[in-house]
Structure 1
Amino acid sequence: MKKIIIGLLLLSAYILPLEAQYFGRNKPNYEKFDFKVKASPTFDIYSYLDNPKLLDGIAARAEEWSRLHQLIFKDTLKPENPMVIYNNHADFQQTNTIQGRASIGTGGVTEAFKNRVIFPLSLTNAQDNHVIGHELVHAFQYHLIINGDSTNLKNLSNLPLWMVEGLAEYLSIGAKDAHTSMWLRDAVANDDFPTIKDLQNPKYFPYRYGQAFWAFVAGWKGDDIIRPLFEETAKYGFEEASKRVLGISVKELSKLWIANVQQHYKPYIDTEREKIPGRKLVGEKNAGSMNISPAISPNGKYIAFLSEKSIFSTDIFIADARNGKILGKISSAVRDGHLDDYNFFESTGTWAPDSERFAFVGVSKGDNVLVIKDALKGKTLETIRFPELPAFGNPAWSPDGKTIILSGLKEGQTDLYAYHFKSGKLEQLTDSPAAEIQPAFSHDGSTLVFASDALQMNGHTQTGDWHFNIAVMDMASGKIDYLPLFEGADNLNPL
């Protein structure tokens, strides 16, 4: 019997192109991992992480999420529920715990038969916390239905994807989420908000719209409605469950939901169709339907960006910054066969100060590598592997061209590293359990700005929000200051 797997895909627009990127490829297995087991009251945690303090923290988070989910599902996981943790995403992509291949867009999976929760550590504490909370919802969903008095494995097929994934998002993020709000506001502004039946269409991303649905229903009826509605849907399908549990038809429920969302978002939308500032340089007419991670060259002439214009792969293209004309490919998944993947969920590329070379992070033989290309010719100039730092992202080229800064993930801790071209050596700039990501140089190279959750390290709850602040490092002294901007918000992507 085929395994039923529900995975966490982080960014909606990346799903189809990323899956297409693996066309014709097999799952790579480059390394063997020496897993050891850490037992907690609920979980057997399989890990090869050499960071006992962090592992204790992960176990504590998992136990707290389990306690919170028990209150909703009124169910308890069996002791020794397996949890498998990989040190980074490149390692996770080699997993043999599931059938099929884990794409770069998969943040974690939970498989039904053994109820195993499997995920890689990421560059940020916030993402790790979210994935644990999200995947443990799936563990409770499986346990409830497969071991129910009147349900079994077959009943999982009655549950629509938007309901399953939406609930995992609602219970791990909450009712309010900026990303979901952007999706909903855009749908209302463009008169394209779906009915509940429309949610079967993959056009409507199940994670975001499913989360919004559960926020609406739970806001209306309270969280106590979650288990009976979920369980009855598994038994009879959603249409019948809506009548039995909510007392109304799906059609009536859709009307209430749509009216509620429109009432909330319309005050934030102009009466006339909104005009997007600026002009479109790259779009479906000259590239693909997904064009992301733009990086403009220092001389202002070129834009490097990722696109699935090639249909069967997501490639790095270069375009004229004045008119959007596509000038060629910097890197191609087909042409660059030595690369298994691009690590662009946690990275953007970076230009050399001469505007002729472009560097980005790839995945090769189970590790991240720094790839340097001739931007216009697409020729690989150098592929740099760091044995002491197998996972990294967010490269930033210094204005003098001598250094590239990286956010490196080592034993679950994200720090900033400097790669010096002349010596070929990697220098660690920070050493903190806080996540330090998205570095960018000042124009003269004297300071480095980046996003950090250091101010959130103290005083947060196990499942609480992790917010980012902008930090400024003096490159001469290494001194770091944190800017008091928008307290309680995520301050990201400094330029």
Structure 2
Amino acid sequence: MIRLRALLIAIPAILACVPGAVRAQYPFGKNKVLYAPKEWKVLETDHVAIYFYPDERAVAEFVAGIADDTYREFSRFFRVEFDRRIPVVLYGTHHDFGETNVTPYLVSESTAGFTEFVKGRIALPFSGSYPKLRHVFRHEMVHALMIEKLRVVMSSRRRWGYDGPPLWFVEGLAEYLARPEPDAEARLFMRDAATNGLVYPLEELWRIEGSYLMYKVGESVVGYIATRFGDEALTVLLENWWRYDRFPVLVERTLGIPMRTLSDQWLAYLRRRYYPAALDRRGMEEIGALLSPAKSLYEMHPVCAGGADGSGRVFCVGWARGAMNVMELERDGGGRARGRALVRGGSSVRFESIPAMRSRLYARGDTLLFVSKAGAEDAVYVYDVEARRVLRTIRVPGCRVLSSPSLSPDGGSIVLSAIDGGGKSDLFVCSLEDGAVTRITDDYYDDSSPDWHPALPLVVWSSNRCRGDDDSYALYVCDPAGGGIEPLTSGGFRDVDPRWLGDGTGVLFSSDRAGTPDAYLLRDGALTRQTNALGGVYSPSPCGDGAFLCTAYEAGGFRSYRVPLRDEASAAPAGGAACDEAEWTPGAPDTASSAVERDYRMKLGLDFIGATFALDPDYGSAGNGAQLFFTDILGDHQFIGLLGTATDDFDEVLDKLNVAVTYVNLTRRLNWAVGAFRLAGYTGSSLDLIRYERRTGVTAALVYPINTFARAGIDVSGTR
């Protein structure tokens, strides 16, 4: 029979389509939406199987080119070999990555990749930068090899259940091995933590677990252990894992010193290394005026709207109520700074997700430009801050990820950075009049943060086009209507986030050329350092004739400041970029060309076995048994099986057998499932008639995610 329960489920599913239900559903969770199915391929090297779709072939070939060398490097370090290829699932953009079924959980924008523990799968998105992709791939490969090392060590000692290392050690080891030397960002975070009392003893690192600081602290601790005791000590720690159940005991027996002593010595090392920086660097409140609320932790990309004297309104991207929002920074009646949400992210289809780091705001007069994910892709919103309404929505066909829009001098076009479907991060110009899109750059360099000159047909932006396989960035300019690309700065540093001054005579930008990100002014070929902050300074933006706004990382948070503009005659020359003459393209031809490509074929593997208790929804308990979960590599095909019996007598095993199987298909936007079951057991209570019943039946379900916040679904079942 068909149960009435199917109709009762269908009614609320239909109600979920109306706007009121969309808002009501938000606090209870979000949906994963596969907006378009993918034609998966597999690229196999000697040690890695790369799962990709044709649009991202360049990304897949790049990973194939570095995969085997990376595997051999870490295999030697861990002294372990895989007996199978490591599966690596690639996604062309972070939005595609958010649709993954490799994990059943929602993937946040801050997740750069992950390695799951069941099948040892690595999942990675392409963020526009091939050097960053290399680093994240190496980081996740460390996880895969470390997990395999622990499995081999423990299984060789017949220990099947065990706890893993603390998270700071896991992530710290991955960061330490993925990058030969700590970069400027790692030093920045550690210097800030050390000088602001944010570094805890090793036994108390749980206080920062899950934060980005934990990664950098872990990298520092692991690097300190390697410096003191050699890289060999890190491998021996894992090889001794079977001996001890507590990490502090393992450290003491392996390194020969108590963990408390190791912690004290590491903290003393941090003081020796980073305290001297306080002598020639200053806190941000000595440099400029704080605009963020005193207890806030995140306000990024501040811009000034109107007011040539710097008295205009200040907008930024800020964190509030569990999501990123477009905020206005203002003062209350008592003169205290406060943040007011102008556009709330994360609670509607229109403003599904406002990017935290990758995209800046742009302001001119009462017009504000910002980016938000809206459905399958990003959109640029032209927003009237006085009327608090969207004037226009702009999308770029073929590009799911957009960043940092900037308005042309005549207000008729915008320039922005976008990631297309083919592994390229380039610049585009969009006409506000007819929606026409013109591509300015078309290569494999990471072109980001463009800004239009206030009066001339010139665009300045940041790019690693000096050397595409290097993580250094320089500033470049060009006429978007055509013409050559000219470098403005040298390519040996990270020169990012450029903004023209209001009169167009110079460019503000952030650079780590002094070892830490600071604000600089480039004018007439000369550089003037604007800040010497103890933390780091990002995203400088002019505000009036004599000041600029910026974000500074200090005391564990990103906050916005207004800083006086300096223009000293003794500034150092900027220099031009000495770059490679040949255009860079991704991939290592020798390795990538030897890889074997094939079509993806579903192959199921066992994910989980567990004891379960079978329960009929209408008639109560029906027995127990084992539950088995099988999925394919992509997680798109899922089989769940149940096997058990409700008897204590071997003679009745088959008669009282409990068996059920369900298949779930997640390959398209419309998810569906079918199943069959045979459940037997006793039901009732001592106050009622206890009876034995056997029930067989089938079930089916359809679920259609309308968007991130609403879905329609129905399930039916028939029993006998």
TM-score category (smaller protein): 0.7 to 0.9
Residue 281, structure 1, aligned to residue 291, structure 2: yes
Q: Secondary structure at the match of 2:251?
A: helix
Structure 1 position 104, deviation (Å): 0.8
Structure 1 position 259, deviation (Å): 1.3
Residues 121-200 of structure 1 correspond to what in structure 2 (within 5 A)? 121-148=126-153, 149-150=156-157, 154-155=161-162, 157-200=163-206
Query: Which of structures 1 and 2 has the bigger CA Rg?
Result: 2
Specify the alignment match of 1:5 in structure 2.
Answer: none
Q: Deviations over 1:338-397 (max 9, x none)?
A: 33211333211222x3x2121222112221122222223432223333332222212222
Residue 66, structure 1, aligned to residue 71, structure 2: yes
Structure 1 position 328, deviation (Å): 4.0
Does structure 2 conserve the Cα–Cα contact (< 8 Å) formed by 1:23 and 1:312? no
Structure 1 position 173, deviation (Å): 2.1
Structure 1 position 42, deviation (Å): 1.2
Structure 1 position 139, deviation (Å): 0.9
Does structure 1 conserve the Cα–Cα contact (< 8 Å) formed by 2:362 and 2:368? yes
Query: Pick from 50, 55, 60: which aligns with 1:50?
Result: 55
Structure 1 position 106, deviation (Å): 0.6
Q: Secondary structure at the match of 1:344?
A: coil
Structure 1 position 488, deviation (Å): 2.5
Q: Which has the higher contact order (CA 8 A, sep 6+)?
A: 2
Q: Deviations over 1:394-445 (max 9, x none)?
A: 2222232111111111111111111111121111001111111111122324
Does structure 2 conserve the Cα–Cα contact (< 8 Å) formed by 1:359 and 1:372? yes
Structure 1 position 251, deviation (Å): 0.8
Does structure 2 conserve the Cα–Cα contact (< 8 Å) formed by 1:318 and 1:329? yes
The one-letter amino acid paired with 1:138 is H
After superposition, the Cα gap between the structure-2 partners of 1:374 and 1:447, relative to the gap in structure 1 and judged at 3 Å, is same
Specify the alignment match of 1:83 in structure 2.
Answer: 88
User: Normalising by structure 2, what TM-score?
Assistant: 0.60
Structure 1 position 484, deviation (Å): 4.0
- Tell me the matched-pair count: 461
Does structure 1 conserve the Cα–Cα contact (< 8 Å) formed by 2:403 and 2:418? yes
Q: Secondary structure at the match of 2:113?
A: strand
Structure 1 position 172, deviation (Å): 1.2
Residue 454, structure 1, aligned to residue 465, structure 2: yes
Does structure 1 conserve the Cα–Cα contact (< 8 Å) formed by 2:331 and 2:338? no
The one-letter amino acid paired with 1:160 is P
Residues 220-259 of structure 1 correspond to what in structure 2 (within 5 A)? 220-233=228-241, 235-259=244-268
Query: Pick from 340, 350, 354: which aligns with 1:338?
Result: 350
Residue 419, structure 1, aligned to residue 430, structure 2: yes
The one-letter amino acid paired with 2:344 is S
Structure 1 position 314, deviation (Å): 2.3
Higher helix share: 1
Distance 1:440 1:272 in 2: 30
User: Normalising by structure 1, what TM-score?
Assistant: 0.86
Query: Pick from 419, 423, 429: which aligns with 1:409?
Result: 419
Specify the alignment match of 1:290 in structure 2.
Answer: 298
Query: Pick from 383, 387, 399: which aligns with 2:409?
Result: 399
Distance 1:244 1:336 in 2: 54
Distance 2:316 2:247 in 1: 41
Structure 1 position 90, deviation (Å): 0.9
Residue 438, structure 1, aligned to residue 449, structure 2: yes
Query: Pick from 312, 329, 332: which aligns with 1:319?
Result: 329
Structure 1 position 54, deviation (Å): 4.0
Does structure 1 conserve the Cα–Cα contact (< 8 Å) formed by 2:293 and 2:337? no
The one-letter amino acid paired with 1:28 is K
Does structure 2 conserve the Cα–Cα contact (< 8 Å) formed by 1:328 and 1:376? no
CA-atom RMSD, angstroms?
2.5
Distance 1:175 1:491 in 2: 20
More deviation, 71-80/402-411: 71-80
Specify the alignment match of 2:391 in structure 1.
Answer: 381
Specify the alignment match of 1:356 in structure 2.
Answer: 366
Structure 1 position 283, deviation (Å): 2.1
Percent identical across equivalent pairs?
Answer: 25
Structure 1 position 164, deviation (Å): 0.5
Q: Secondary structure at the match of 1:253?
A: helix
More deviation, 78-87/386-395: 386-395
After superposition, the Cα gap between the structure-2 partners of 1:349 and 1:433, relative to the gap in structure 1 and judged at 3 Å, is same
Specify the alignment match of 1:92 in structure 2.
Answer: 97
Distance 1:273 1:329 in 2: 31
Does structure 1 conserve the Cα–Cα contact (< 8 Å) formed by 2:394 and 2:435? no
Distance 2:381 2:82 in 1: 44
Structure 1 position 233, deviation (Å): 5.0
After superposition, the Cα gap between the structure-2 partners of 1:375 and 1:173, relative to the gap in structure 1 and judged at 3 Å, is farther
Q: Secondary structure at the match of 2:55?
A: coil
After superposition, the Cα gap between the structure-2 partners of 1:92 and 1:192, relative to the gap in structure 1 and judged at 3 Å, is closer
Q: Secondary structure at the match of 2:497?
A: coil
Specify the alignment match of 2:609 in structure 1.
Answer: none
After superposition, the Cα gap between the structure-2 partners of 1:303 and 1:260, relative to the gap in structure 1 and judged at 3 Å, is same
Does structure 2 conserve the Cα–Cα contact (< 8 Å) formed by 1:330 and 1:377? no
| Off by >6 Å, runs of 4+ in structure 1 | 321-324
After superposition, the Cα gap between the structure-2 partners of 1:228 and 1:294, relative to the gap in structure 1 and judged at 3 Å, is same
After superposition, the Cα gap between the structure-2 partners of 1:169 and 1:327, relative to the gap in structure 1 and judged at 3 Å, is closer
Does structure 1 conserve the Cα–Cα contact (< 8 Å) formed by 2:440 and 2:480? no
Distance 1:152 1:371 in 2: 56
The one-letter amino acid paired with 2:449 is Q
